[in-house]
């Protein structure tokens, strides 16, 4: 491939691919990232914790149910 071919290829590529107009983002994303890092996860509702405890109690009292549960996972 000679220099003329290279130049032609560059021209064709420029024609085919539109130049990128916006080179920068509208807003700075770093403050949002910092806010996300600083935010604490939402607390689990007490109802869900009570249900989890109930399920754990059920499995402790009836360990024979564990194979049946595993079968359905």
The residue ranges that bind other proteins (CB under 8 A) are 44, 48, 51-52, 54-55, 58-59, 62, 64-65, 67-73
The least CB distance from residue 67 to other proteins, in Å, is: 7
As a whole number of angstroms, the distance between CA 53 and CA 21 comes to 57
The least CB distance from residue 62 to other proteins, in Å, is: 5
As a whole number of angstroms, the distance between CA 69 and CA 55 comes to 11
The least CB distance from residue 3 to other proteins, in Å, is: 44
**What's the CA dihedral at 16, 17, 21, 24 to 10 degrees?**
180
């Amino acid at each position: 491939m000679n220099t003329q071919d290279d130049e032609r290829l560059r021209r064709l590529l420029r024609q085919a691919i539109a130049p990128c107009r916006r080179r920068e983002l509208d807003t700075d994303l770093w403050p949002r990232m910092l806010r996300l890092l600083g935010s604490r996860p939402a607390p689990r509702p007490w109802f869900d914790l009570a249900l989890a405890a109930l399920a754990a109690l059920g499995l402790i009292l009836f360990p024979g149910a564990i194979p049946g549960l595993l079968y359905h996972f």
